[in-house]
Structure 1
Amino acid sequence: MPQVSVNIRMDRELKKEFESFCSEMGMSMTTAFTIFAKKTVREERIPFEIGFEYPNGQLLKAIENVEKGKNLSRTFYSIKDLMEDLDAGDSI
């Protein structure tokens, strides 16, 4: 099958670390990306979980509020007030 080139951008330090990892595994970065692409196409999904390792400050504050029963929801006295709040996009 004919080969094509693919260019990607990434942080310089990440590239160095990834290159080192691939070398330790006995493969090139091209081989690693090809493995990823083939597995993704075969499984029709990203072949690993994507998420945050640690909750960010906003999530930690929300968890704290739930545990304390604070700021669980805002009170609106009219549909107009509710819609204005939704349109503003402010978070709790």
Structure 2
Amino acid sequence: MAQISFRVDDEIKKKAERTFDDIGISMSAAINIYLKTVVRENRIPFELSADPFYSDENMSRLRESIRQVRDGEKKLTEHEIIEV
């Protein structure tokens, strides 16, 4: 069995570990599943996209901003770049 070492952002690692814990698998098992799928399908097994708009982090920030506007904690203002 081979050993692979690589660097990952601490926060990404923590979030991934939480997800894998929720699923009930280890980080090692998840990476092995990924690599086996790459080999079997001869490709990266998901679509790569440069559009981060719908990321969990961005959607969470947008929901929080909407809540703050609804609760009167923030006020919407016009911006010179955005046409109304």
TM-score range, shorter chain: 0.5 to 0.7
Find the aligned partners of 2:40 and 2:24 in 1 and give their Cα distance. Answer: 23
TM-score normalised according to structure 1 size: 0.54
Cα offset, 1:53, TM superposition: 2.1
Cα RMSD between the aligned structures? Answer: 1.3
Find the aligned partners of 2:52 and 2:4 in 1 and give their Cα distance. Answer: 32
The answer as to 2:4 corresponding to 1:6 is yes
Count of aligned positions: 53
Larger radius of gyration: 1
Find the aligned partners of 1:16 and 1:39 in 2 and give their Cα distance. Answer: 23
The Cα offsets for residues 22-56 of structure 1, whole Å up to 9 and x where unpaired, read as 0100000000000000000010000000111248x
Find the aligned partners of 1:8 and 1:23 in 2 and give their Cα distance. Answer: 21
Find the aligned partners of 1:28 and 1:7 in 2 and give their Cα distance. Answer: 16
The structure showing larger relative contact order (alpha-carbon pairs under 8 Å, at least 6 residues apart) is 1
Specify the alignment match of 2:31 in structure 1.
33
TM-score normalised according to structure 2 size: 0.59
Specify the alignment match of 1:85 in structure 2.
none
Find the aligned partners of 2:16 and 2:30 in 1 and give their Cα distance. Answer: 10
Find the aligned partners of 2:44 and 2:35 in 1 and give their Cα distance. Answer: 9
Correspondence 1:1-92 to 2 at 5 A? 3-54=1-52
Find the aligned partners of 1:24 and 1:40 in 2 and give their Cα distance. Answer: 23
